[in-house]
Amino acid sequence: MSGHGFHVHGPHDHAIEHAAQGGHGGDDGFAAKIAVTTAILSTLGALFSYEGGHTQNAALLYKNEAAIQKTAASDQWNYYQAKGNKQNLAELSVVLTKGEDRERYKQEIERYKKEKAEIKLGAEKLEAAAKDADKHSDAEMHIHGRWAGAATLLQISIALSAIALLTRKKWLLVGVYGASAAGIAIAIMGAMHL
């Protein structure tokens, strides 16, 4: 619009103007119905997106915990191997020595065996904790996929609502309600951890 009273409509301005005024023979009830539906879908979509973000963060935390446990287990296995090397040297020393030295090395061998057993037990516990954290991470990512799919379907429903409002095509409401129902069903599956 210029300052001289000349007004140019864009292609979509006319459709929006008519939709806002209930044009194309539609009644105001259609626009109100779409507005309420869109508001409800937007609210549900925000909730689903929040849950999706939450489950994704939980999955990342579990994955981080798994990495920490795997590193700790690796450290324990390295320690186990070092004790094994010391045990091997003590066993060699038993062969090469006599008397008191030989008895001292035999005692060291037994000590290393005991220490290795304790280290092995600790490393296996850390590996089990890492596997458990990985399982939890995978489960959270699965649920995240549910929430993300539900939010996406509601976004599609909102877009179809806008198109239905602008075009006044009531048959598009089938798509709006169908995508909404599918999104809500997937969200329920996410909430139930299915």
Residue 4 counted as domain residue: no
pTM beyond 0.85, yes or no? no
Q: Which structural domain range is residue 40 located in?
A: 28-191
Q: Residue 49: what pLDDT? A: 93
Residue 36 counted as domain residue: yes
Q: Residue 175: what pLDDT? A: 92
Residue 10 counted as domain residue: no
Question: How many domains does one find in the chain?
Answer: 1
Q: Residue 97: what pLDDT? A: 87
**CA distance readout (Å), 9 to 3, 12, 14, 25, 147:** 15, 8, 7, 21, 41
Q: Residue 1: what pLDDT? A: 46
Residue 16 counted as domain residue: no
Question: 23-33 burial, b for 16+ CB within 10 Å, e for fewer?
Answer: eeeeeeebbeb
Residue 129 counted as domain residue: yes
- Copy the structure tokens of residue 52: 């999706």
Residue 184 counted as domain residue: yes
Residue 45 counted as domain residue: yes
Residue pLDDT tens, the chain, 194 long: 445 565 555 555 555 565 555 555 545 688 888 989 999 999 999 999 999 999 999 999 999 999 999 999 999 999 999 999 999 999 999 888 888 888 999 999 999 999 999 999 999 999 999 999 999 999 999 999 999 999 999 999 999 999 998 888 889 999 999 999 999 999 999 999 88
Residue 127 counted as domain residue: yes
